[in-house]
Structure 1
Amino acid sequence: MARRTKEDAEATRNALLDAAEQVFLAQGVSQSSLAAIAKEAGATRGAVYWHFKDKLDLFNAMIDRVTMPLDQVIYGDLGQLSQVAPLPRMCRVIHLLLNGLVNDDRIRRVFTILMHRMEFVGELAALQVRHTSSMNEFTRQLALDFAAVAEQQGYALSGTPQLLAIGLRSLLDGLMHSWLMSIEGFDLEKDGLAAVQVYLVGAGLPKAAVAATFAEATSLPNPLAGAARLPCGYVDSSVL
């Protein structure tokens, strides 16, 4: 009985997170109420407060369900990309991001909410700290990879690793933001990866090396496929 109760509680929690995605996407985060989310999930408001302290807590849990598997694959020990050479890792990370956004409905919904359905005001103001921290960490990792590529391969970069990392992160943000606004506008995976390759060549990396590394990265299966539907934090590292 206890096992069944635990399974029921987990099912209710996931149903609430699923409902939050749908309601936030349709109404925007600031205009959405916990009552609307409970109704969408077929649950009571009491069930919402049993699992989450408030809307901010629910929103963070919804984000974690997508970003924790992503973080595990990219930089965590589970994904083991931390052990990959810097240029292949950079190309693999970028491919995972764009491919996951195109092919995983949940990742696409959550990123649409983040980029087009929320404002960092009122009860959601605290999320700006999390957003900024995540953005800075991604930039830091990219800068480390640029520096490592230059040191290990002897490439003469066209700017400092930090500046190149800021530029690459901004390019990726712009590509994702624009594509989510109108997914028919361009092919995010094909055109996006091509744009990134142009950027990396402009950054001082050899065109042939960049092309070959991306060709290898895109030939590998994406471990994020379905990861957002698995228990939070789990990714099958055997496909890496």
Structure 2
Amino acid sequence: MARRSKEEALETRSKVLDAALRVFSLKGVARSSLADIAKMAGVSRGAIYWHFANKGELLTALWDQVVQLYAPLAMASENPNEPDPLGKMKTLYISFLTNLVDDPRQQQMFRILFDASDRSKDTEAFRQLHITIRRQRLQSLLVALRNIKEKGQLPPTSDEHYGAVCILCFIHGLLANWIMTPDLFDLKKEAPALVEGMIRMLSTDKVTVEDDAQSSG
């Protein structure tokens, strides 16, 4: 009986998350209510409160679903025992970008993130959470790039800090541009070449302002 109750609770939680994403997609986060989500899910508001205190917690749980899809590959590129961390990084970003094209759930989460017109305390909290996650991702990329360099897959003179910054900005820029203007380029078709270009960029030595001034002089 206890096992069945746990399964039912997990099923209800999943139904609520699915409904929340549909309601957010139709009405925007700011104009949605927990009552709207309960109606869409076919559950009571009490059932929602059993799992989530507010829309902010729903957004966080929906985002966690996206993160968990790619966590194994991200951790593999940081693992010192992984023989091909650079290959795992390539696979991570190619799969992330190509899967995004086929997954409306992921697309909707990024629309919420990038849509500045949908403003509420919940969306602002979600965006602040994403800022924290980006800071954490920068640190994870530093670990991954050091690991990649130690495996001899990047030149010893490559700079992991600038490499991590470049990856973060490159991927964020691709996402923002494609989510807001999906006809701008064919993300699924071009993802492998775009990621390959990003990886090649990592092999470049750090260039300082002084170096640039000397070379131009």
Q: Same fold (TM over 0.5)?
A: yes
1:38-187 to structure 2, matched below 5 A, reads 38-75=38-75, 82=79, 83-84=81-82, 85-116=84-115, 122-153=121-152, 155=155, 160-187=159-186
Contact 2:94 2:191 in 1 (8 A): no
SS at match of 2:184: coil
Q: Is the 8 A contact 1:120 1:126 kept in 2?
A: no
Name 1:199's counterpart in structure 2. Answer: 198
Q: Equivalent residue of 2:177, what SS?
A: helix
Contact 2:167 2:198 in 1 (8 A): yes
Q: Following the alignment from structure 1 to structure 2, what is the Cα–Cα distance between the partners of residues 181 and 34?
A: 27
Distance 1:93 1:57, change over 3 A: same
What do residues 162-191 of structure 1 show as CA deviations (whole Å, max 9, x unaligned)? 122111211111111221223333221332
Task: Sort the Cα spacing of 1:174 and 1:2 in 2 relative to 1 into closer, same or farther, 3 A.
Answer: same
CA offset digits 1:118-149 (Å, max 9, x no partner): 76752444334421221122222223333344
| Kept in 1: contact 2:70–2:92 (CA 8 A) | no
- Give the structure-1-normalised TM-score: 0.71
Q: Distance in 2 between matches of 1:93 and 1:202?
A: 17
Q: CA deviation at 1:2?
A: 4.1
Structure number with larger C-alpha Rg: 2
Query: 1:147 aligns to what SS in structure 2?
Result: helix
**Structure 1 residues 17, 65: CA separation in 2 closer, same or farther (over 3 Å shift)?**
same
**Could you tell me whether the CA contact under 8 Å between 1:23 and 1:32 is conserved in 2?**
yes
Distance 1:200 1:137 in 2: 20
Query: TM-score, length-normalised on structure 2?
Result: 0.77
Say what the alpha-carbon RMSD is for the aligned residues: 2.8
Q: 1:42 to 1:121 in 2, by over 3 A?
A: closer
Kept in 2, the 8 Å contact 1:28–1:118? The answer is no
Q: How many residues align?
A: 201
Identity fraction in percent: 32
Aligned match of 1:227? none
Deviation of the 1:28 alpha carbon: 1.9
Distance 1:5 1:11 in 2: 10
Greater shift after overlay, 165-174 or 79-88? 79-88
1:34: which partner in 2? Answer: 34
Q: Which has the higher contact order (CA 8 A, sep 6+)?
A: 1
Structure 2 unaligned residues grouped into runs of 5+: 205-217
Aligned mates of 1:74, 1:203 — CA distance in 2: 17
What residue identity is the alignment partner of 1:45?
R
